[in-house]
């Protein structure tokens, strides 16, 4: 059972990394959010994360900071 979880997590990371290679920035953010959510559900707490998860968490942090500084949304409408 543990081996199948590791295999599934590895497969998801591979799929996410391949999907990110051709995706735009927003698509990459969405793929990272999905990867982090799936990893949080699959991994018990206290287990170290791999490099791909760390990279995705950094991308999410950067987008959060970027969005907080923006005054317009994706369609150019004012946020405030």
Task: Give the pLDDT confidence of 9-55 residue by residue, as tens digits.
Answer: 787 776 766 555 545 788 888 999 998 888 888 876 656 678 888 99
Domain encompassing residue 48: 2-69
Nearest partner of 36 among 50, 46, 25, 24, judged by Cα: 50
pLDDT of residue 60: 92
Q: How far apart are CA 1 and CA 60, in angstroms?
A: 30
Is 43 contained in some domain? Answer: yes
Count of structural domains within the chain: 1
Is 74 contained in some domain? Answer: no
Is 77 contained in some domain? Answer: no
The answer to whether residue 64 scores a pLDDT higher than 80 is: yes
pTM of the model: 0.54
Is 56 contained in some domain? Answer: yes
pLDDT of residue 8: 77
């Amino acid at each position: 059972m543990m081996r199948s979880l590791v295999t599934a997590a590895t497969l998801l990371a591979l799929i996410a990394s391949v999907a990110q290679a051709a995706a735009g920035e927003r698509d990459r953010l969405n793929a990272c959010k999905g990867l982090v959510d799936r990893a949080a559900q699959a991994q018990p707490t206290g287990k170290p994360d791999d490099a791909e998860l760390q990279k995705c968490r950094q991308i999410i942090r950067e987008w959060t900071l970027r969005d907080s500084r923006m005054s317009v949304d994706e369609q150019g409408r004012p946020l405030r």
